Structure 1
Amino acid sequence: MISEWQNHKEQLGAYVRTRIDDVDAVDDILQDVYIKASSNLHQLKSRGSLKAWLYRIAHNTIMDFYRTRQPFDELPEDLVAEESDTGRQAREELAQCLGPLIDELSEKYATPLRLAELEGVSQQDIADQLGLSLSGAKSRVQRGRVKFREQMMACCDFEIGREGITDYLPKKSNTQRKC
């Protein structure tokens, strides 16, 4: 193994130097390659593939080098993380506006929508309370959602992020619509 290693050591060194930005680590990596090759020589299928096998070990050792390296500074222990839910306050403020906006809808759509969305009543129970068929209740809730969305889009500009609505700004309105 030593004679074969001497034949390939210079080429492997050049291979490692082109892939590692730390000059001091090149010799360490070459040493690791030699140790791994020596201890796993029994896994080599044929002598003809020794060079390719050594390059594969060198490649894997380089990858291990980069995996274990920490390219960042440790953060101080007393560092406080920012609140992860940045849009929570905006959603809470917006939720206070929902009731009055739902009240602006006709009673035909406002009542089923309020029951379904604000009170969490099942659509079957809505149908029973309002004397409608299940499909009629579902239809009114769905149409109420559409009309409610149209009303919200007419009254507010929304900023939407990964967490949903992160901010909103009421539109200045010259119409008779209450926002």
Structure 2
Amino acid sequence: MLSEWQNHKAQLRSYINKRLDDTDAVDDILQEVYIKASTNLHQLKARGSLRGWLYRIAHNAIMDFYRERQPYEALPEYIAEEELTTSERARQEMAEALRPLIEELPEKYRLPLQMAELEGMSQQTIADTLGLSLSGAKSRIQRGRVKLREQFMECCDIETSKSGVLDCTPKQPGCTSSHCKYG
């Protein structure tokens, strides 16, 4: 291997040097190519393909070099925390806006819907808590959502776009704007 390496070393150095913007790293990458080739020599199928194999190792080492150098800056922790609290706050506001309408639903739909949408319980937990089959709980939650949507549409004018709800205003004097809080 050593004599074969000596035959290709100068050409490999030139190949690596042309592809790097850091001349100090050329010898490091060349050494890495030698170590990988020596360690994985058993993977080489035919001696005639040694040159191409060495160039492939060199190419991969160059790609690894650039991947490691990609500049990145970790996000400050407060940004991730802020997103989470903003998202959670929006969910809570939505839940409070919908609570009065959900409370007007018949009990068999109200309870599963409150558990799913306001308390964030899984459908299996809801089924177990209410003594229902999983499909029965899913059905009641789905029917509750349909009834809630019908109530909401009767009570409020909703303007939507592809990105979601843009505006919501009460239709009737009996409806309060708290139903439309998230608009």
Note whether the superposition's TM-score is higher than 0.5: yes
CA offsets 1:66-97 (integer angstroms, 9 cap, x no match): 4544623578xxx5433242211121122222
Residue of structure 2 in register with 1:52 after alignment: 52
Aligned to 1:172: 169
Local SS of the residue matching 2:106: helix
Q: Does 1:81 align with 2:89?
A: no
Instruction: Choose between structure 1 and 2 for higher RCO, CA contacts under 8 A separated by at least 6 residues.
Output: 1
Amino acid at match of 2:97: C
Going from structure 1 to structure 2, the CA distance change for 1:55 and 1:43 (only over 3 Å counts) comes to: same
User: Please, which runs of 5 or more residues in structure 1 have no aligned partner?
Assistant: 126-133
- Encode CA deviations 1:78-135: one digit per residue, 9 max, x unaligned: x54332422111211222222311345xxxx53222222226562749xxxxxxxx97
**Rounded Cα–Cα distance in structure 2 between residues aligned with 1:39 and 1:138:** 58
Call closer, same or farther: CA 1:2–1:116 in 2, change over 3 Å.
Answer: closer
Structure 2 residue 29 is matched with structure 1 residue 29:
yes
Match in the other structure for 1:122: 130
C-alpha distance in 1 between matches for 2:106 and 2:160: 22
SS of 1:5's equivalent? helix
How many Å separate the matches in 1 of 2:46 and 2:140? Answer: 76
| TM-score for the superposition, normalised by structure 2 | 0.59
**Structure whose CA Rg is larger:** 1
User: CA deviation digits over 1:25-77, x for unaligned, max 9?
Assistant: 122212322344356556544321211221132133224434544623578xx
The unaligned stretches of length 5 or more in structure 2 are 116-125
Distance of 1:98 and 1:6 partners within structure 2: 76
Cα–Cα, structure 1 residues 112 and 61, in superposed 2: closer, same or farther, change >3 Å?
same
Structure 1 vs Structure 2 CA RMSD: 4.1
Q: CA deviation at 1:175?
A: 4.0
- Report percent identity of matched pairs: 53
